[in-house]
Amino acid sequence: MRRVACLAILLLALVGGLILWSRAQRPPSEPPAPTPPRAQNAPESPASQRITIYLARELPRGTQGEFVLSPVEREVAATAAPTMASLEALAAGPTPAEESEGFRATLPEGTRVLGVEREGGVVTANFSRELRDNFNGGADWEEIVLYSIVNTLTELEGVDSVRLTVEGAPIESIGGHLSAEEPLRRNSEIVVRGKRGE
């Protein structure tokens, strides 16, 4: 009996060692890419298009409550205007499954997308007043909110920069830390910043 136990443990140790060893040889890997939610039973058809939006995601390790921007994919009707569809998907926030993976909505509660205009490479996104009035956050959270909009829109072909308006009027800032007066370009640093915590 004792010998059997001995052998079993030896075997376990061997397998465990091998697994650990093979892991040690691999460079650190990216976090598993979040799987895009797909409409049930809907085969890939030309009736839909895929868009990428940037949501806030809490880093699983490191300092608590640290957020970065992380891309997720959405499938929308092929006929939808991609700029508007992207912003509406952003306003809808994460799916329950994504939420359990640490994703969070970025647009303040009640924020509605009133419209999008495009002129050359510049997109003007017009939001309801809740974008500013319901914003709750410090300097870094404002950066997350602002660039979730900018990075989502600049993900689209030919969009270089994004101008924000609230009820049609230009705004100085969303939350009082960062300027939103000028059209903003993409900020990739806030996305890769997540790699630090991995």
Partner 1 sequence: MSKGGAVTTARCPFRYALLVWCLVLHTGSLLAAPKAPEVYIGSKVAPCAPSPILQDGEVYLPVTFRYAGLPVTVFAEGETVVVRGPGQLEGCLPALQHQGTLYYPVNRACAALRLSARWDEKANRLSIAPRVDAIRPEMFDRLMTLRILAGYPLTARLELERNPGQLIIEIAEAHLFNDSTLIPVNQGGITRIRATQVSYQPCLVRITVEAEAMPQYRALSARATTEICLRLGVPENNTPEAYTVLDRLLDAPGSELTGLAVTGIDVGTSEEGNPLVVVRTNGPAQAKVLRLGSPPRVALDIENATIQAQAPAVPPHTPLVQRVRLGQFTEKVARVVVDLVEEAECVLTQGHEPGTLVLTLRSALSRVQVTGLKGLKVMVDPGHGGSLSGTTGLSGRREQDINLDIAKRLYRLLEAAGAKPTMTRYGDDTVGLRARPAMANSQGVHIFISIHCNANGRPNSARGIETYYCHQHSYRLARTLHYRLVKELGAPDRQVRRRPGLVVTRETKMPSVLLEIGYMNHREEDRLLGTPEYRQRAARAIFNGIAEYVGASTTAAPVAAEEAALAVEELEDAVVIEEGEAAATVEEQEGQ
Site string for partner 1, 32-61 (x = CB under 8 A): ------------------------x-x---
Q: Which DSSP symbol is given to 31?
A: P
Rounded to an integer, what distance in angstroms lies between the CA atom of residue 97 and that of residue 66? 20
Q: Is 14 in the site for partner 1 (CB under 8 A)?
A: yes
Selected binder of partner 1 within 115, 121, 168, 176 (CB under 8 A): 176
| 100 Cβ contact partners less than 8 Å away, ≥ 6 residues apart | none
Q: Coil, helix or strand for 57?
A: strand
Q: Is 167 in the site for partner 1 (CB under 8 A)?
A: no
Residues in the chain, total: 198
Site string for partner 1, 122-141 (x = CB under 8 A): -----------x-xxxxxxx
Q: Is 9 in the site for partner 1 (CB under 8 A)?
A: yes
Q: Residue 90, by phi and psi: left (phi above 0), alpha (psi -120 to 50) or beta?
A: alpha
**Are the C-beta atoms of 133 and 123 separated by less than 8 Å?**
no
Q: Name the residues that contact partner 1, by CB under 8 A.
A: 2, 5-6, 9-10, 12-14, 16-18, 20-21, 24-25, 27-28, 30, 56, 58, 62-67, 104-106, 133, 135-141, 143-144, 172-173, 175-179, 189, 192-193, 195-198
